[in-house]
């Protein structure tokens, strides 16, 4: 059946599960970034997610939005670099969109992905097709909106499907942003590292709410 909504505590626990899954996936993210970038994405995300776990353990949150905002702040201040800014923005902008909500419902999680994606695009300047995390985020947000789900668990099924499809589609894109840009057509065939992270994040959220 899956959860209708998530409480503040459940939302926090879901983000701890996300942090654990990303930390566990460090070798996968390292390999993905080694293929197309400089190989530091796994270690950077691991550092960010350790900071997230610390932040989530040390504070009480008045709303579900503030949980996501704390995730973004922790990533931004611990990771540095391009991905610290963009992943931090994802959760900060996403959380801001529902900042006073006391439960996370279907519309809330869709708003997190929609506003988070817009924040990333504004901040980082990547457009769809540039072979970045945006190529997993945008289809995730759009799938969530289109599903018009009744429950948070249904919304997350659509969001995770969209993220996974977007990650797969990024294999057929030629990088035009960041470090992978110099590879040109050699960037074909492999998924963008940030898109791999987004797919793992969305799948972990889906499994938590199931
Ligand atoms: P860095 O690029 O500083 O080495 P990471 O390796 O941790 O940082 O992260 C790389 C990922 O960050 C890319 O795979 C891409 O998905 C994402 N990324 C980097 N710059 C941008 C940007 N301007 N807009 C959106 N995503 C970006
Ligand atoms: Mg890198």
**How far is Cα 48 from Cα 198, in angstroms, rounded to an integer?**
14
Tell me the ligand closest to 132's alpha carbon.
1
**E strands present in the chain:** none
The pTM (predicted TM-score) of the whole model is 0.97
Give domain status of residue 138, yes or no: yes
pLDDT along the chain (210 residues), means of 10: 96 98 98 93 97 96 98 96 94 97 98 98 96 97 96 98 98 87 86 97 98
**How far is Cα 32 from Cα 65, in angstroms, rounded to an integer?**
30
- Kindly report the CATH number assigned to the domain that includes residue 72: 1.25.40.340
Query: Which of 83, 135, 180, 193 has the most ligand 1 atoms within 8 A of CB, as the residue to mutate?
Result: 83
Average pLDDT, the chain: 96
Give domain status of residue 144, yes or no: yes
HEC assignment per residue over 28-87: HHHHHHHHHCCCCHHHHHHHHHHHHHHHHHCCCCCCHHHHHHHHHHHHHHHHCHHHHHHH
The 10 Å Cβ neighbour count of residue 172 is: 11
pLDDT of res. 184: 82
* Ligand 1 pocket, CB under 6 A: 33, 37-38, 40-41, 44, 81-83, 86, 120, 124-126, 132-134, 177-179, 192-195
* Residue 29 Cα to ligand 2 middle (Å): 10
The residue whose CA has the least distance to atom 13 of ligand 1 is 194
* Residue 59 Cα to ligand 2 middle (Å): 30
Cα dist from 133 to 66, 113, 185, whole Å = 23, 12, 18
Tally of structural domains, the chain: 1
Give domain status of residue 1, yes or no: no
The residue whose CA has the least distance to atom 2 of ligand 1 is 82
Show the domain range for 82: 6-209
Give domain status of residue 22, yes or no: yes
Q: How many CA atoms lie within 13 A of 52 on its CB side?
A: 32
* Residue 139 Cα to ligand 2 middle (Å): 23
The residue whose CA has the least distance to atom 23 of ligand 1 is 124
**How far is Cα 182 from Cα 46, in angstroms, rounded to an integer?**
26
**How far is Cα 7 from Cα 177, in angstroms, rounded to an integer?**
38
* Closest ligand 1 atom to 192 CA: 14
Query: If you compute the radius of gyration of the chain from its CA atoms, what whole number of angstroms results?
Result: 16
Give domain status of residue 51, yes or no: yes
pLDDT of res. 6: 98
**What phi and psi values does residue 6 have, to the nearest 5 degrees?**
-120, 140
Per-residue pLDDT tens for 25-64?
999 999 999 999 899 999 999 999 999 999 999 999 999 9
């Amino acid at each position: 059946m899956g959860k209708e909504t998530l409480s503040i505590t459940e939302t926090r626990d879901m983000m701890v599960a996300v942090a654990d899954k990303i930390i566990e996936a460090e070798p996968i993210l390292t390999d993905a970034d080694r293929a197309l970038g400089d190989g530091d994405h796994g270690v950077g995300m691991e550092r960010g997610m350790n900071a997230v776990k610390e932040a989530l353990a040390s504070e009480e949150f008045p709303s579900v939005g503030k949980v996501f905002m704390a995730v973004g702040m922790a990533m931004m201040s611990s990771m540095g670099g391009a991905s610290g800014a963009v992943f931090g923005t994802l959760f900060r902008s996403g959380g801001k969109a529902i900042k006073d909500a006391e439960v996370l419902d279907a519309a809330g999680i869709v708003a997190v992905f929609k506003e988070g994606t817009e924040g990333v695009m504004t901040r980082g300047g990547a457009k769809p097709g540039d072979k970045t995390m945006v190529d997993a985020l945008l289809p995730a947000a759009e799938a969530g909106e289109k599903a018009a789900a009744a429950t948070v668990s249904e919304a997350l099924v659509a969001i995770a499907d969209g993220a996974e499809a977007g990650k797969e589609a990024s294999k057929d894109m030629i990088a035009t942003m960041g470090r992978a840009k110099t590879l040109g057509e050699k960037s074909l065939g492999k998924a963008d590292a940030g898109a791999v992270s987004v797919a793992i994040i969305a799948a972990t959220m889906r499994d938590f709410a199931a």
